[in-house]
Structure 1
Amino acid sequence: MVLEGLFAPRRDHKGMSTPSNAARLWLPLCVLAVSFWSWGVTDGNLVVWLCLTTFIVTPVLSVGWYLIGMVSNRYEPKYLIEKAEQAYLNRLARKNQQTH
């Protein structure tokens, strides 16, 4: 149940897919971890630290998001909030009424 809540893809009020909670959490966790590591490697040189952090975090984020996406494909999408699901259903109902 926890994995489903973490990895299930999210849908917005228009029914469009958005990242899962795991993908949303991956960004700050990854940036913090790489920043902490690179600070020690660069001996506190701010410019080199920023460059190294950006250089390392970019592929790490991409690989992480790819793996999270593979896991997320196993779960049914969920709406961000209940109101988003209701808004999407109302939008579909209005669209169907306009075509009939």
Structure 2
Amino acid sequence: MKILAEAGRPGAGYAEHLRTADLSVGTYSLPAGAADGQQPHTEDEVYVVTAGRAVLWTPGGSAPVGPGTVAFVPAGEEHRFTDITEDLTVLVIFGPAEHTRRPG
């Protein structure tokens, strides 16, 4: 067992807290008004919003997110947080671990 004490707490940018062959866990933080420049990932992602408010955009649609929101983004899907109205902190779970798959 390992307790990820810093996971989901506000920080700056992205901080990884755990990495195994099958998954990785980190915290992604963006201040209000920021632009999210992330690119599609080669791994599936689950986002758990721990603080803040924004909109999660994908080509298929957009959804408001806030504390307690859990969202799944499949590998390869373009996505980003927009309209960040409150400092946003998101727990990110990648499966398998981030950057372990080669771009297709």
Q: TM-score, normalised by structure 1?
A: 0.19
Higher relative contact order (CA 8 A, sep 6+): 1
Structure with greater helix percent: 1
Structure with greater strand percent: 2
Q: TM-score, normalised by structure 2?
A: 0.19
